[in-house]
Amino acid sequence: MHMTSPIGILVIAIVVLVLFGKGKVSNLMGEVGKGINAFKKGIDDGKADIAKDEAAAAAAAPAAKDVTPIEQKDQA
């Protein structure tokens, strides 16, 4: 796979600025930032919901019962 050089990235950035203008690019980057923040918030909310559900399931489940047989010492 071909890696883009720093000069190639600079040329792409200049072409994008010429085509769309500074205002459109800055608005687009702002929207991308908002999207990333919303995604991170959604991930955190999902983790909190999972933890809450696991805690509720653990509280509702009955305690485990020990069913290990006790060995008798005096067996004849």
Rounded-to-integer distance, Cα 54 and Cα 52, Å: 5
Task: Please give the structure tokens belonging to residue 1.
Answer: 């796979």
Query: In the chain, pLDDT over 70 holds for what percent of residues?
Result: 91
Three-state secondary structure string covering the chain: CCCCCHHHHHHHHHHHHHHHHHHHHHHHHHHHHHHHHHHHHHHHHHHHHHHHHHHHHHHHCCCCCCCCCCCCCCCC
Q: What is the pLDDT of residue 41?
A: 97
Domain residue spans of the chain: 16-57
Q: What is the pLDDT of residue 47?
A: 95
Instruction: Enter the pTM of the model.
Output: 0.53
Average the pLDDT over 34-59 and give the result.
92
Cβ atoms of 55 and 63 within 8 Å: the answer is no
Q: What is the pLDDT of residue 74?
A: 62
Average the pLDDT over 35-58 and give the result.
92
